[in-house]
Amino acid sequence: MTFEEAKKKLKDLGYSRIYLWEDPPGTYYSWHTHSEDEVRLVLEGEITIGTEEGVYNLKEGDLLEVKAGTKHWARTEKGVKYLCGSKSV
C-alpha cells in the first residue's frame, strides 16, 4: 500500500490530522489514553499495541482503531513506520 492509498483509506474512515510517524527499534509508550478516536496504519515494520481487552500485533498493511479514552500501550522491537489519524467523538 502506498502512502497516498493509506492516507485515502484513513480519510474514507473519517479521520483527519493524518500524519506519518516513525519509531526506532526498542520504542515503548506506557499506558495512556487519547481524547479523540485514533487510528494507526502500518506502512513498514511491526508494532504491538495492548489494550485492557487484548494485545494486537500489527504488521505492514494492518490497521487498528483505538476509541477515545481507551487505555493502551505500544512497543516496537524492530522499528515501525505508520500513518496516524484522529477523529473527534
**Per-domain residue ranges for the chain?**
3-87
- The stretches in the chain having pLDDT less than 70 are none
Superfamily of domain 3-87: Jelly Rolls (2.60.120.10)
Could you give the CA distance from residue 42 to residue 9 in angstroms, rounded to a whole number?
A: 12
pLDDT confidence of residue 45? 98
pLDDT confidence of residue 48? 98
Using only C-alpha atoms, what is the Rg of the chain?
12
Type and span of the H or E element at 3: helix 3-12
> Could you give the C-alpha distances from 23 to 34, 50, 51, 59, in angstroms and in order?
18, 16, 19, 14
* Listed residue (21, 22, 40, 29) closest to 87, CA to CA: 40
* Listed residue (4, 10, 2) closest to 84, CA to CA: 10
pLDDT confidence of residue 2? 87
pLDDT confidence of residue 1? 80
